[in-house]
Amino acid sequence: MVDETTARAVTDPTSDDVPVSLVAELGELAGVAVAFFRGDEVLFPPRERYVAAVAALKAAGFVMCSDLCAVDYLTHMDRVLPDGVTGERFEIVVNLLSHSRRRYVRLRVQIPADDPVAPTLFYLYPGVENMEREVYDLFGIVFSDHPDMTRILMPQDWEGHPLRKDYGVGRVPVQFKEAPGPR
Amino acid sequence: MSDEMDTRPVAKSWIPGERGEQDRDAIGAADDAVVVDVDAGDAVADEELERLFEAETSEGDQELTLVEETDEIELLIERGAILRLPEDAAIAVDPASQGDAADAHFGDGETMIINLGPQHPSTHGVLRVMLELQGETVLRSKPVVGYLHTGMEKTAEELTYVQGATNVTRMDYLSPLNNELAWSLAVEKLLDVEMPARATWIRMLMSELNRISSHVMWAATNGMDLASTTMMIFGFREREMILSFFEKTTGLRMNHNYIRPGGVAADLPDGWEDDVSVIVDTIAGRLDEYDELLTGQPIFRERTEGVGIIGPDLALAMSATGPILRASGVPWDLRKSMPYLKYDEVDFDVIVGTVGDTFDRYAVRLNEVRESIRIIRQVVEKMPAGDYKVQDKKITPPPRARIDESMEALIHHFKLYTRGFEPPAGEVYASIESPRGELGCYIVSNGSNKPYRMHWRGPSFVNLQSVPALLRGSLLADAIAILSSVDPVLGEVDR
């Protein structure tokens, strides 16, 4: 799955050669596992180094957090990961964008199922506020020190986290099906 | 007598007291045996009515309580996202908050919290914004979303890659072709297939036409918010032309399912060059009418200039993209900066603003329509001949006529629409510049025929975070103009 595929023109205009790895470039990222897939660089910092790694990338020009989401690998635990990375149930996936370098970098952080907590990126990028709330709402991963860790898409009193793989489709009865009409 | 009573309607009136009295009058005239029956039936009907009156939504109590009676957590939720900006950023966006002025309002009971939406014509769908007002000035605010949440990301895990396009096209319903494009680019990146040239250029044509239709639709609703009904009619008129062309090409006015993984669903109709040329020539002329109607008009300028300013640093920190970011002066357009499709082979400019106010966002969008027209004219000239989809029978269906004569084609067709194709395991993120900003699609594949996880980076969802920063310190009347200038599409916010 993770291979050294040469970069394609879909996302990177300077993709005739494989982009230089950021791990080699930035001293703060030393030892972080790295992989290339379809031309995108993917970093696998451990949870303890997550914020530090993002801060280093921000200092290196990745001034915008494009996207933050999570994946529940409950039924796909045998995914291929680079050496030295132990797969956990949850992953937080962050896409950072550097305007000056014109490239994205993706971070995948392993989050164990028995302790689904991650540090927040809010104080580096205030723009992750909605995204982290969405991850909390749909996956139940808590971001410590996030200023407003509440549900955003589901009702406040909803039980369960719908995008988890053990949350069945159609498990909740349709709310309005049996509601009596006005007459 | 008893037959007559049995056949009466169960509920005559919505007001329980009134209804009860009516019934008792009727009962008074009846003999005792009947009274017992009727009373029993009556009690059931009353219970039913009471239950109806007491019915609550699943969200519980919907009203905001007084500040003194609200617990701390709820207050935090009510007091908007601006509170959660880093302190210096919060001060920076509020021109009135030099010194302690900003904090003085907090909790002194002189402010008022009102709800705008979710059922309000100028919130462009079911957006609800909580506004903290002092007099007419907006202090803190918070967008509350989720009213249109339909679990599309969960649904996508149950649909094959072939079916997926029908799901994602319904998210941002004003630019469905851009949704399909982001989805298709992500799936193709996963499959690692190369598109035929004509498919790529058709995608560019449709994507740019869709950008025009989305921007004129925005101009229409923005005009309506600022009490220019003429603009509303104008915008819908222009959009209608483009939708007619979409209908001719794809069969549908919206939610086309036209751009699919592997190419597009059908070739362009005969004489499409003439259709498109007429559309862009007409709209180019109409844009000058917009200028006459709005751009130079004193009332419009008064209402938009200097209203809802956001600077480049804050816009970047809030992850804002699209016209909001460009209006603040950052020349970032994925079509130019990280070209996908063949945007590096056409000539166009990235429009940027200087101030970052509502007028700049208007001007950026209006001029982006002009740039799209430039692109479309080049696409019409340069459209290559060839296939409009990949000739790989595992990914795209065979032509209908082949199915009648070839067993193999029949099998391919059947397999594709029942099982679909199976991309290799992996994860990709593909992003495009939609009319609203960076539209990203993140797909995780485990090697099966359905995505293991699909995540959508919706520009409206992320751009809404800028709303508290934009609104702070403005007047309530300006809040409508500012909300409109953000151009959120709630279908994509809530997904």
* Residue B113 neighbours by CB distance under 10 Å: 21
Phi, psi of B391 (to 5 degrees): -85, 60
Of the listed ranges A59-63, B13-17, B378-382, the least confidently predicted one is B13-17
Question: Which range has the worst mean pLDDT, A37-46, B54-63, B333-342, B446-455?
Answer: B54-63
Nearest to A42 by CA among A7, A77, A14: A7
Q: What's residue B78's pLDDT?
A: 55
The model's confidence at residue B92, banded by pLDDT at 50, 70 and 90, is: low
Phi, psi (degrees; rounded to nearest 5) at B279: -60, -50
Categorize the per-residue pLDDT at B158 as very low, low, confident or very high, splitting at 50, 70 and 90: confident
What is the crossing angle of helices B16-28 and B32-54, to 10°? Answer: 170
Instruction: Tell me the residue type at B455.
Output: H
DSSP designation for B345: G
**Residues in B touching A154 (Cβ below 8 Å):** 146, 149
Backbone angles phi, psi at B352, to 5 degrees: -125, 155
CB–CB contact B84 A148 (8 Å) = yes
Comparing A154-158, B41-45, B106-110, B406-410, which segment has the lowest mean pLDDT? Answer: B106-110
B453: chain A residues, CB-CB within 8 Å: 71-72, 163
Reading the block at residue B465, the tokens are 């975070």
Minimal-distance CA residue of chain A relative to B186 = A10
**Residue at token pair 């362009």:** B268
Q: What is the mean pLDDT of residues B218-239?
A: 88
Complex ipTM over 0.85: no
Is B429 within 8 Å of A147 when comparing Cβ atoms? Answer: no
Say if the Cβ atoms of A40 and B84 lie within 8 Å: no
- pLDDT classification of B393: cutoffs 50, 70, 90: confident
Q: What is the structure's pLDDT at B17?
A: 40
Chain B residues near residue A156 by CB distance under 8 angstroms? 59-60
Q: Note the pLDDT tens digit of each residue in B165-192.
A: 899 999 888 999 999 999 999 999 999 8
Q: Is B428–A37 a contact, with Cβ atoms under 8 angstroms apart?
A: yes
For range B28-55, the mean pLDDT: 52
Segment 64-93 of chain B within 8 Å of chain A by CB: 76-77, 81, 83-86, 89
Task: Indicate if the pLDDT at residue B43 is higher than 60.
Answer: yes
Distances (CA, A) of B261 to B43, B139, B181, B205, B396: 61, 46, 9, 17, 8
Q: How far is CA B381 from CA B349, B374, B377, B482, in A?
A: 19, 11, 6, 39
Cα–Cα distances in Å, from B40 out to A101, B34, B37? 78, 10, 5
Best mutation target among A64, A101, A172 (most B Cβ atoms within 10 Å) is A64
Of chain A, the percentage scoring pLDDT greater than 90 comes to 27
What backbone phi and psi angles, to 5 degrees, belong to A118?
-140, 150
**Counts for chain A of helices (H) and strands (E), in that order:** 3, 7
- Which of 453-482 (B) contact A at CB < 8 A? 453, 455, 457, 461-462, 464-465
Q: According to the model, what pLDDT value does residue B4 have?
A: 44
Mean pLDDT over B103-132 rounds to: 70
Q: Is the pLDDT of residue B83 over 90?
A: no
Decide if B487 contacts B142 (C-beta within 8 A).
no
- Amino acid sitting at position A22: L
Chain A CB within 8 Å of residue B53 CB = no
The alpha carbon of residue A17 and the mean position of all alpha carbons in its chain are separated, in whole angstroms, by: 26
In order, the DSSP letters of B142-207 are EEE--TT---HHHHHTTS-HHHHHHHHTTTSTTSHHHHHHHHHHHHHHHHT-PPPHHHHHHHHHHH
B105-119: per-residue pLDDT in tens? 444 456 777 888 777
pTM of the model: 0.80
Who among B185, B440, B465 is closest to A127 (CB)? B465
CA torsion sign for B365, B371, B377, B382 is: negative
Q: Closest approach of chain B CAs to the CA of A129, in angstroms?
A: 8
Quick check: bond before B118 cis, omega within 30? yes
Specify the pLDDT at position B186.
Answer: 93
Q: Is B168:B179 a contact under the CB 8 Å cutoff?
A: yes
- The proportion of chain B whose per-residue pLDDT surpasses 70, expressed as a percent, equals 78
pLDDT at residue A70, rounded to an integer: 93
Band of residue B73 on the pLDDT scale cut at 50, 70, 90: low
Other CB atoms within 10 Å distance of the CB of residue B64:
15
CA angle, B198 then B368 then B296, to 5°? 150
Which of A130, A152, A175 has the CB atom closest to B462's CB atom?
A130
Cβ-based burial of B334 (10 A; exposed 0-12, middle 13-18, buried ≥19):
buried
pLDDT class of A24 with cuts at 50, 70, 90 = confident
Is there a contact between B460 and B115 (Cβ–Cβ < 8 Å)? no
Residue A158, pLDDT > 60, answer: yes
A147 and B CB contact within 8 Å:
yes
User: In the predicted model, is pLDDT for residue B102 greater than 50?
Assistant: no
Give residue-wise pLDDT tens across range A51-105: 999 999 998 889 999 999 999 999 888 888 888 888 889 999 999 999 888 889 9
Closest CA to A42 of A61, A15, A23: A23
The radius of gyration of chain A's CA atoms, rounded to the nearest angstrom, is 19
Minimal-distance CA residue of chain A relative to B431: A11
Residue whose C-alpha is closest to residue B311's, from B300, B327, B295, B323 = B327
* Nearest alpha-carbon partner for B455 in B179, B152, B188, B172: B152
Collect all residues of chain B within an 8 Å Cβ-Cβ radius of residue A13. 338-339, 344
State the average pLDDT for chain B.
Answer: 80
Range in A19-28, B131-140, B150-159, B359-368 the model is least confident about: A19-28
Per-residue confidence (pLDDT) for residue B71, from 0 to 100? 67
Indicate whether B435 pLDDT > 90: yes
Q: How far is CA B123 from the centre of its chain?
A: 11
Mean pLDDT across the stretch B418-427? 89
Residue B469 has pLDDT above 80, yes or no: yes
Residue B379 has pLDDT above 90, yes or no: yes
Per the listing, tokens 């008064």 go with B302
Which segment of B78-92, B132-146, B335-349, B393-407 scores lowest on mean pLDDT? B78-92
Listed residue (B145, B460, B491, B455) closest to A95, CA to CA: B455
Q: Which of A12, A38, A104 is opposite residue B192, by nearest beta carbon? A: A38
Residues of chain B contacting residue A129, judged by C-beta atoms under 8 Å apart: 81, 84, 465
Mean pLDDT, residues B51-79: 57
A37 contact B CB<8A: yes
Tell me the HSE value of B61 on the side-chain side, using a 13 A CA sphere.
5
A-B contacts at Cβ under 8 angstroms: 148
The residue of chain A nearest to residue B463, with distances taken between CA atoms, is: A127
User: Poorest-confidence range of A7-16, A117-126, B117-126, B475-484?
Assistant: A7-16
CB-based contact, B147 to chain A, within 8 Å: no
